[in-house]
Amino acid sequence: MGVRLLLVGTISICVVPGIDYAQAQTASGDSEVLPAIEVVAPATVAKPGRSKRAPQAARNLRRVFVYPTAPTTTASSGMDVDKVPASVNAVGAGQIARTGSLNIADALQQQVPGIIVSDTTGNPFQPDIQFRGFVASPVAGTPQGLAVYQNGVRVNEAFGDTVNWDLIPTAAIRSVTVVTNNPAFGLNALGGAVNVLMKNGFNYQGAEINTMGGSFGRIQSSAQWGKQIDNFSVYGALEGLRDGGFRNFSESKVRRFYGDVGYKTDSSEFHLNMGVASNNFGAAATVPVELLRNYWGATYTTPQTTANRVGYVNLTGKIEATPTWTIEGSAHVRAFQHKTVDGNPTATQPCAPPNDTLLCFNDDSSFANGVNGVPIVNPFPTDAVLGQIDRTTTRSTTTGATLQATNTDQLFGHNNQFMVGASFDSGVTRFGASAELGTIGSNYVVSGSGVFLGPSGTPISIGPVSLRATNRYSGLYAQDTFDVTDAFSISGGGRFNYASINLEDQIGTALNGNHTFSRFNPMIGGTYKITPELTAYAGYSEANRAPTPLELACADPARPCIIGAFLISDPPLKQVVSRTVEAGLRGTKELNIGTLGWKVGAFRATNADDILAIPVPLQGFGYFQNVGRTRRQGIEAQVNLTSKTLQLYASYALVDARFLDALELNSHSPFADPVTGTIQVLPGNRIPAIPRNRVKLGFDYSVTDAFKVGGDALFVGSQYFVGDESNQAARLPGYSVFNLHASYQINKTFQIYGRIDNIFDNRYATYGTFFDAGDVPNFANGGVQFTDARSVSPARPRAFYAGLKATF
């Protein structure tokens, strides 16, 4: 799972104990929180006989802000931010706190030009985070294109590579970086990697209690405390949240804890960190637009609930073996449990005579069987609208370790940084699913009957599932950065990934399978400092994604399954390979009114053998398939102005995502062929659910030393509905959102604050798809059939919040 490669530039690094993060105005122009280290920059190689531990004052030290080149927790393997041959994107604890949210997605959407958040699940605490058209999502079956790490540990879940953002304790986050052009981050880093570093007692001292409440029954509170005692440190953070949601049945409960115990000397540092979370969500999902016209908080087929539980322990260590060699490693264990309850329409129906006392599945002649294999006698009234409650349970235990060495000896008289490392991750998952038949009421609530479906359909496409999946991911990586001149640095390296996936059907043999995938992914890049205030960069890299156990267990077009639930068979899939090139400029300029920072860049990523979830005419059913080549390309630009009293930011991102090969897909689109139910995708058609344009603006102004006001705006362009890969239907409209916030520092300890989200109460949707309009009657319109197949995720209306923060 997480392996690292790195090429770093030109410096001999010596980390000074106790140095904290600082607000750094980097060459990218972002007011970013990046780790600061002191580096030795000698003009010549040190002479033989020099003491290994020269006095600090005798060294020629300069302060450098570093950017991660591998998912480790220390700055020693990072790269001088001026030498990063890729776009620089970082978000610090202050920028996260600015949002007043316990959801990390809010800060990422504000501060990173290429990131947009969509609400596929219908719950704001389980967002899809999309960067350059690649997604990290909690939704099973979503093609995952981003690798995510928390304190050096990969948190893409073992079974489906999903990312549960709700499990990351927001108050305890020290910084988040979005890293591109770097295969060192291992599998899934097709579009890049999100690297989350957590606080500890060495970089956070003191205590804080923060409580906020407001619209839709929101009440949230967080507390954190950190302390250093000589060479030891301790840190802890606790968070709790309850939100009733603006939609029916969309309540959220979040409970999270994170802790860290550390030990540090002049030449070593060790940390033991641990965390637990227990979260429950009403995930209301998409709703037909015809229902939204009557009530913005409407839902369609419930219950839709999710329960996430996690516990983890991570041990990290770093030793400076010599003045130029640093060894670091980590070991972790993580236990994760995910349960869903999902009310849906059903393909079960009364059989045709002479078997009209029985139930059939998918047609009126194939019997619907119970778990005992016997056809089910119809227990429902003749006028009942049938539905089913699908339940899934996923239990995963993952373990892993990494070992990495970094060297900063000069090479041929030039500064050089070399890194080599290895990682191994193993995951064991037990997955189960069941389907209970029931009836759908006029409020779209599915009421269970106690009758459960066994293997049913021709071919069998539903029934109980019990699967054991084992993933083993190994990686070897190396990276080097060499200073050709003081202004010009080149970086190169690569990573070899090996993935082994074993599936064991616990009921029959249909899901059994063994799959292996391997690949070497190279990278090369360079930076040139045109002037002290202007840097150019360019780079090329490759990355791969192995098919997940979930995808492999549902990849047979002849035997489709309910995506993410009822797995049927185990045909092979190819791994996805992405090739990315990017280039740009970044710079800073000191002005009379403050520091101006800016960056502009372009990228192109081409995927080979991309994997998509392919629907079939039966609503909710589908399979996974390689669909050939896709391409995501675009530009990103950002400008920041920072002074003592004013902070401004503005960014623009264009993401153009297209299919490069022809496809024929099943769809519920109104433009689907009425006979075959398919659409024709042509080369050049845009990929749905990826808005082309994103504009972001924000400011913070200190009216007085105590009173501050600020606001932000988001403009997102239109996007095609999922299911309209042929680009024939009208697009989901774009939207704009405006938010305001203010704070007043009462005294050294207490601060009151408030915010208004969506101040103009705009009604918009962030995600859209099509549904089978004939499955369930439109009860809100007298029980007639729906006439509009569009189904969307409505965004939250205007909301007011106020809070009190105490800092000690």
Measured distance CA(287)–CA(446) in Å, rounded: 15
- Report which DSSP code applies to 216: G
Given a cut of 70, the residues of the chain with pLDDT beneath it are 1-64, 75-77, 459-460, 558-560, 562-571, 616-620
Q: Are strands 799-807 and 750-757 parallel, antiparallel or unpaired?
A: antiparallel
Find, among 378, 372, 374, 371, the residue nearest to 348 by Cα. Answer: 378
Q: Encoding tokens for residue 45? A: 């190689």
How many Å apart are CA 590 and CA 412, to the nearest integer? 36
What is the C-alpha radius of gyration for the chain, rounded to an integer number of angstroms?
27
Strand 678-681 with 287-288, pairing: unpaired
- The DSSP code sequence of 6-30 is -EEES-EE-PPTTPPPEEEE-TT--
Q: What is the pLDDT of residue 4?
A: 34
Q: How would DSSP label each residue in 257-290? A: EEEEEEEE-SSEEEEEEEEEEEEEEE----EEHH
Q: How far is CA 716 from the centre of its chain?
A: 19
Render 120-176 in DSSP notation, one character per residue: SSS-TTSPEEEETTEEE-SSTTS---EEEEETTEE-S-TTT----GGGS-GGGEEEE
Q: Which residue has the tokens 């991750």?
A: 425
pTM of the model: 0.90
Q: CA 789 from chain center: how many Å?
A: 29
* Strand ordering across the sheet containing 765-770: 287-288, 790-794, 765-770
**pLDDT given for residue 46 in this prediction:** 39
> Which tokens sit at 477?
């990586």
As a whole number of angstroms, the distance between CA 403 and CA 4 comes to: 10
User: N- to C-terminal Cα distance for the chain?
Assistant: 40
In this structure, the dihedral spanned by the alpha carbons of residues 471, 472, 478 and 479, taken in order and rounded to 10 degrees, is: 10
pLDDT for 205 equals: 95
Determine how many CB atoms are found less than 10 A away from the CB of residue 56. 11
Cα angle: 566, vertex 568, 569; to 5 degrees: 150
Residue 639 and residue 675 in contact, taking contact as beta carbons nearer than 8 Å? no
The pLDDT of residue 55: 44
* DSSP H or E run through 552: helix 549-552
CB atoms closer than 10 angstroms to residue 807: 13
CA distances from 754 to 196, 254, 711, 800 (A): 27, 21, 12, 8
Lookup result for tokens 């549904």: 771
Q: Is there a contact between 437 and 451 (Cβ–Cβ < 8 Å)?
A: yes
Q: Which amino acid is at 180?
A: T
Q: Rounded to 5 degrees, what angle do the CA atoms 31, 33, 38 make? A: 115
The answer to whether 576 and 190 have CB atoms below 8 angstroms apart is yes
pLDDT reported for residue 77: 67
DSSP state of 727: -
Are residues 256 and 276 in contact, defined by beta-carbon separation less than 8 angstroms? yes
How far is residue 365's CA from residue 94's CA, in Å, rounded to a whole number?
Answer: 62
Q: Is 435 helix (H, G, I), strand (E, B) or coil?
A: strand
For residue 27, the number of C-alpha atoms closer than 13 Å in the C-beta half-sphere is 27
Contacts of 350 (CB under 8 A, 6+ apart): 356, 358, 359, 360, 364, 378, 382
